[in-house]
Amino acid sequence: MRWIVAVVLGSVACGMSGCGEEPVARIPVRPPGSPPARPAGQAAASDGDETIGDATTRTRQLTGIRFDVPVDWNEQPKSEFYEAKYVIPSEEGEMVLTLTSMGGGIDANLQRWIGQFQQDPDEGPRRETLRIDGAKSEWLDVRGTFRSRVGTSPGPHENWRLLGVAIPMKPRPFLLKLIGPRAAVSGFEADFRKFARSAQLDR
| Residue 197 pLDDT | 94
| Residue 96 pLDDT | 97
Q: Which residues pair with 115 in a beta bridge?
A: none
Segment 125-140, tens digit of pLDDT: 999 999 999 999 999 9
Segment 46-84, tens digit of pLDDT: 344 655 556 889 999 999 999 999 999 999 998 989 999
| Residue 164 pLDDT | 98
DSSP 104: S
Max mean pLDDT range (13-17, 32-36, 114-118): 114-118
Element (H, E) at 117: strand 117-118
User: What homologous superfamily does CATH list for 50-201?
Assistant: Mog1/PsbP, alpha/beta/alpha sandwich (3.40.1000.10)
| Residue 155 pLDDT | 81
In the chain, where are the structural domains located? 50-201
| Residue 54 pLDDT | 64
| pLDDT for 200 beyond 60 | yes
| pLDDT for 35 beyond 50 | no
> Under DSSP, is residue 1 helix (H, G, I), strand (E, B) or coil?
coil
| pLDDT for 20 beyond 50 | no
Burial class (CB in 10 A: 0-12, 13-18, 19+), 153: exposed
C-beta separation of 37 from 28 below 8 A:
no
| pLDDT for 37 beyond 50 | no
**What's the mean pLDDT in 145-170?**
92
Name residues whose C-beta falls within 8 Å of residue 44's C-beta, 6 or more positions apart in sequence: 38
| Residue 52 pLDDT | 55
pLDDT band of residue 150 (cuts 50, 70, 90) is confident
pTM equals 0.73
